[in-house]
Every structure is written in C-alpha cells, then in structure tokens.
C-alpha cells in the first residue's frame, strides 16, 4: 500500500526526517511518500501560518487521489491542520499526527503531557487536545521556548530543551507518558524515552501504523453528512486545487 505523508510546512529538511520516522515501523509492503506542499510557510507556529499551510495540504491530497494512487494520508503537523477538510475531499483514510499520538498513548498510559515549541503554540496544542476529546487525560502542555526552525538547526540544543521540559512534566505534573508536540521532534523519541522512563511518542510513526490498519480493514470515511464531498461551486483562484474537480467531483 502507498501512504502519503504531507508535512504542511515547506521546510524540506524536516520533510526528510518525517519520511524516516514514517518508515521506521512501516510494514514491508507499505510505501511511504513524504512531501511538502508547493505553497505555505516554512513552519507553523500561529493560526495565520496554519491557514496559509492548509491550501497546499488540500492540493497534495487531491493530487494523491487523482494521479498518485495513494491509499491513505497522514498530515504531519501537531496541530492537525486541515484534517476535517481533508476528510471531505477524499474517502481514503486521513490521519493527523496529534490525533495519532493521543490515540496510541491512551492504550499504554492513563495520561500524557505534550512538550512543544514556542509559548504561543500552547494554545494551539490545547485546541488539538480538545478537538480529539482528550482534555481529561492531558496533564499539561509545556513549551521549550525554542521555535520549530531552531530545533531544525541545532538538534543537540533541542534535545536538551526537550529533555528538561519533559522531566518537569513527569515530576511536577504527574505525566505518565510524553507526546512530542512537533513533527520536527521525531529524531528524539528513543533518547528521550530511555532518559525519562515513561513512554515517549512522536505522532508520525503511530499515524503511519494507524493509516495502515485503516486500509487493511478497508475503512472509508463516512460520506453520509458532515464529511461528505464538498458541494460543487465556483471558486476564485487556487487553480492548482480546483483543476482536480473542475468536472469530476463525486
């Protein structure tokens, strides 16, 4: 099967790490394609960034359905940007990485803390936790104060910051598992888990595995109402998106 991971930001070095993380536990007969959209910001740290990233995500999904024979999609940014819109335009499974990490943690720990990037992103993590109904299990959302791109530039410094922040979550907040709140953290999972003694999860590997079993069980998105295909209508601009359904939206 073919799983397309869309890194919603346009920083290619991060996309490469995401490709590796996606392949880490993938089944031998699963092909992983990680891409960045052609438009959007270099990193996603504000609502504004998120809204400029999503049209590119839509384009990648439509392309995947119409020309790439993709079986399932992963949106690889911890805010799960555009997740419900993606589920409207395809009936193939779409999995967000925050959703995946939150989902998998539930089977192995009674609660979690999220360790994330900038202070301002905490509000967005709060919202993704609510979106997935996990308020009752979230012990805390802590931020390292480093930006997404600072992590990308200095892995060592990043690992230190993550490690210190995660320890506080375990010791002061009572976290019994740690979720890494940024797709840029995928390289740190194993080192952190060894150090902390509690399960540490990035979202990319779990999202790939969840996508695999959704395909295995032949699950398709319910088109009954909320996530039905969008109504046909005139759209100004966004030609790289609208070209895919000019005549054919189901």
Footprint on residues 118-137 left by a copy of itself (CB under 8 A): 118-120, 123, 132-137
* Rounded Cα distance, 102 and 127, in Å: 13
Q: How many other β-carbons are positioned within 10 Å of the β-carbon of residue 69?
A: 10
Count of chain residues binding a copy of itself (CB under 8 A)? 85
Task: Kindly state whether residue 234 participates in binding a copy of itself, applying the rule CB under 8 A.
Answer: yes
Q: What are the structure tokens assigned to 52, written together?
A: 């400029």
* Rounded Cα distance, 45 and 69, in Å: 31
Angle (nearest 5°) at CA 112 between 181 and 220? 70
Contacting residues for 66 by C-beta, under 8 A, at least 6 apart: 244
Cβ nearer to a copy of itself, comparing 133 with 156: 133
Query: Phi and psi at residue 139, in whole multiples of 5°?
Result: -75, -40
Task: Kindly state whether residue 248 participates in binding a copy of itself, applying the rule CB under 8 A.
Answer: no
- Please identify which residue in 2, 106, 167, 168 interacts with a copy of itself, judged by CB under 8 A: 106
Task: Kindly state whether residue 176 participates in binding a copy of itself, applying the rule CB under 8 A.
Answer: yes
- Please identify which residue in 54, 180, 186, 192 interacts with a copy of itself, judged by CB under 8 A: 54
Q: What are the structure tokens assigned to 98, written together?
A: 């925050």
Angle (nearest 5°) at CA 151 between 150 and 153? 65
- Please identify which residue in 14, 32, 192, 198 interacts with a copy of itself, judged by CB under 8 A: 198
Q: Please choose, out of 14-22, 43-51, 157-165, 180-188, the segment that lies near a copy of itself by the rule CB under 8 A.
A: 43-51
- Please identify which residue in 8, 18, 21, 49 interacts with a copy of itself, judged by CB under 8 A: 49
Cβ nearer to a copy of itself, comparing 156 with 197: 197
Task: Kindly state whether residue 180 participates in binding a copy of itself, applying the rule CB under 8 A.
Answer: no
Q: What are the structure tokens assigned to 11, written together?
A: 């920083």
Q: What are the structure tokens assigned to 135, written together?
A: 């308020």
**Of residues 58-87, those binding a copy of itself (CB under 8 A):** 58, 82, 84-85
Task: Kindly state whether residue 109 participates in binding a copy of itself, applying the rule CB under 8 A.
Answer: yes
Strand partners, 141: 114
């Amino acid at each position: 099967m073919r799983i397309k991971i869309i890194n919603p930001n346009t920083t290619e070095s991060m996309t490469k790490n995401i490709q590796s993380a996606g392949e880490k536990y993938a089944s031998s007969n699963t092909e992983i394609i990680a891409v960045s959209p052609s438009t959007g910001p270099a990193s996603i740290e504000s609502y504004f960034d998120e809204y400029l990233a999503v049209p590119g995500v839509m384009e990648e999904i439509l392309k995947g359905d119409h020309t790439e024979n993709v079986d399932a999609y992963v949106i690889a940014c911890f805010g799960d940007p555009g997740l419900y819109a993606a589920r409207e335009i395809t009936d193939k499974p779409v999995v967000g990485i925050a959703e995946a990490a939150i989902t998998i943690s539930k089977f192995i720990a009674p609660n979690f803390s999220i360790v994330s990037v900038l202070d301002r992103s905490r509000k967005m993590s709060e919202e993704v936790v609510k979106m997935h109904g996990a308020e009752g299990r979230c012990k805390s959302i802590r931020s390292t104060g480093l930006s997404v791109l600072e992590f990308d530039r200095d892995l060592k410094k990043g690992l230190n910051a993550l490690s210190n922040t995660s320890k506080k979550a375990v010791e002061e907040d009572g976290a019994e598992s740690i979720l890494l709140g940024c797709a840029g953290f995928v390289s740190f999972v194993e080192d952190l888990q060894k150090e902390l003694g509690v399960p540490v999860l990035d979202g990319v590997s779990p999202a790939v595995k969840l996508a695999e079993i959704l395909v295995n069980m032949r699950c398709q998105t319910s088109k009954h109402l909320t996530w039905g295909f969008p109504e046909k209508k005139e759209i100004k601009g966004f030609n790289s998106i609208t070209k895919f359904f000019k005549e054919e939206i189901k």
